[in-house]
Amino acid sequence: MRGGMVASVAVKSKGLKRNAISFASNVVIGIASTAPAYSLASALGVIAGIAAYATPGIMLVAFIPMFCVATAYLHLNRADPDCGTTFSWATRAMGPYAGWIGGWAVIVTNIIVMPSLATIAGEYSFRLFGYGHPSPLQVTVAGVAWIGIMTAICFIGIELSARSQRLLLAAELAILLIFAVVALAKAYTGRAPDGATRVALSWFNPFADGNFNTFTEALLVAVFIYWGWDSGVSVNEETEDPGTAPGYAAVLSTLLLLGIYVLVAVAAVAFAGPALLSKNSTDIFAQIGTGVLGPGLDKLLILAVLTSASASTQTTIIPAARTALSMAEVGAIPKRFGEIHPQYLSPGFSTLAMGALSTIWYVGLTVCSKNVLADSILALGLGIAFYYALTAFASVIFYRGVLLASTKNFLFLGVIPTLGGLIMLALFVKSCFDLKSSGSTSIFGVGSPLAIGLGALCLGAVVMFLVSRCMPVFFQRDGGPVARAPNLNDS
């Protein structure tokens, strides 16, 4: 077979619209899901406060585990192009219980992140029109409206979703590019603040200060701003060439994100210096935007963050709904979640359900307290690391029968996914220790972010136990055949 990969396994049609989006749209969905502008605005200052001038180097190292995991997605999607991704693949490789909890992790993580995205979309909607201090109620209403709009777009179909994503992402990336170019130009021509400096090769060395604790702390923040590229794989059944295009789109998405993040990091550090960035860690663009682009044009950065958050709000619903669809299709959750809208050929009920659950979670956290909302965002890393690690290990287990067939097999089907899984597992453990005493309050003797993150996964185990008693057929199945792939040297 061309490419020397695994022959695609026939997948039963779930009724989703076939060949609805192109490879390019698949890449767009993958990048947009990470919310690059919002991620940089909220995380770059934190990383700069820890790593200082080594911030670009941290961005480079953070890319490595994501690339390794994306490689696992590439190979697994080739063998099984199922919109359930982690759920389907872990079920085949490791059995129904591993698959079910993996699917749960994907769904619950995408729901937990929604309040953050909706809050940013709400706040920046007001800021775009010059209203800088909206009340919490106004922000919540605007955030709920954004969730509703993006849920409706996802409900109407993947083609409309893809078109809207292209427009939103094009605006976002164009603005980030303008920001980076102007910031570097001003840093090199002496028109930047006192902390400005020219780029040095040492900035790309993440171990520049020789402090391993500093390195791991900064890496922990940086890795998770790459999260989201896997949304493009979740629309594999709706993509042209579903067996190969989504996997390659996932890998390409991580590479493009690397370029975006390193470029903006270099420009921001050169223009403002790490000290100024770290003092404004909640939103670096709000602080240095006017200095870079000038009065009036700094609105472009507000627009970039707004389009980033709103686009990610939409693409967050997509993988959650399709994971639920895949789980319902094989009897892992109630069949109602597997309903396809007859006109739009989208997972109608699952899409509406994910939009509703996201809204309830958002409003509930807002009513409880802003601190609880912030704590839930800190807890995200646990779910992300869990299901990325599970997917990477599932790839190795699935291909265990052919790992020693050639050097390429051993490297690309074994070593690289294993490395990604081990790094994600290490980050999961490190996050648990870091979050143990952090957050706004203590729950059962541990910090609220850890309680929320681990609590969500433990709740999944409880729900899985109950579902296995009510719907036992799925849990009685075998995982699936071990992959018998052609030698990768045949490519």
What are the tens digits of pLDDT across the range 79-133? 999 999 999 999 999 999 999 999 999 999 999 998 888 998 999 999 888 887 8
Q: Is the pLDDT of residue 372 over 70?
A: no
Tokens of 448: 């609220």
Work out the pLDDT band at 481, boundaries 50, 70, 90.
Answer: low
Work out the pLDDT band at 437, boundaries 50, 70, 90.
Answer: confident
Residue 1 confidence (pLDDT): 31
**Beta strand ranges found along 246-348 (DSSP E):** none
Tokens of 247: 């996997």
Residue 265 confidence (pLDDT): 96
Q: Is the pLDDT of residue 436 over 50?
A: yes
Tokens of 292: 């870079």
Work out the pLDDT band at 10, boundaries 50, 70, 90.
Answer: low
DSSP notation for 407-466: HHIIIIIIIHHHHHHHHHHHHHHHHHHHHTT-SSSEETTEEHHHHHHHHHHHHHHHHHHH
C-alpha distances out from residue 397 to 4, 95, 105, 233, Å: 19, 11, 20, 20
Most confident of 4-13, 217-226, 333-342, 361-370: 333-342
Q: Whose CA is closest to 333, among 324, 341, 342, 344? A: 324
Positive or negative, the Cα torsion across 107, 111, 116, 120? positive
Rounded average pLDDT over 370-386: 80
* pLDDT tens for each residue of 407-417: 999 999 999 99
Work out the pLDDT band at 11, boundaries 50, 70, 90.
Answer: low
% the chain with pLDDT above 70: 93
Cα–Cα dist 92/199, whole Å: 48
Q: Write the CB contacts of 345 (distance below 8 Å, at least 6 apart in sequence).
A: 15, 16, 17, 20, 157
Residue 327 confidence (pLDDT): 96
349, 124, 366, 377: CA torsion to nearest 10 = 80
Residue 2 confidence (pLDDT): 33
Exposed, middle or buried by CB within 10 Å (0-12, 13-18, 19+), for 490? middle
Work out the pLDDT band at 365, boundaries 50, 70, 90.
Answer: confident
Q: First vs last Cα of the chain: how many Å apart?
A: 8
Query: Would you kindly state where each structural domain of the chain is located, as residue ranges?
Result: 28-483
Residue 75 confidence (pLDDT): 95
Domain 28-483 CATH class label:
mainly alpha
Residue 480 confidence (pLDDT): 56
192 torsion bin: left (phi>0), alpha (psi -120 to 50), beta (else) = beta
